Amino acid sequence: MCTSIFTKTEDGKHFLARTMDFSFPLEGNPIFLPKNFDIKNFIKVTIFNFKY
């Protein structure tokens, strides 16, 4: 089961994090996407905007 952590920083910004609880190693790497960051999907030629 995954857990959400949501908190507000001292300067009024919001911070959201999630845990990844699995019974086997995923060897994953966290990524950080800044607000209003665009990612282009080259397969479907779609642009995703991370609003928050």
Q: Which residue has the higher pLDDT, 45 or 4?
A: 4
Q: Which residue has the higher pLDDT, 36 or 8?
A: 8
Model confidence at 52, pLDDT cuts 50, 70, 90, reads: low
The pTM of the whole model exceeds 0.85: no
Q: Can you tell me which residue has the tokens 């996407």?
A: 33
- Neighbouring residues of 23: CB distance < 8 A, sequence distance ≥ 6: none
Strands (E), 1-52: 4-8, 14-18, 37-41, 46-50
Buried b (16+ CB within 10 A) or exposed e, 36-50: eeeeeeeeeeeeeee
Can you give the pLDDT at residue 4? 82
Q: Are 6 and 21 in contact (CB under 8 A)?
A: no
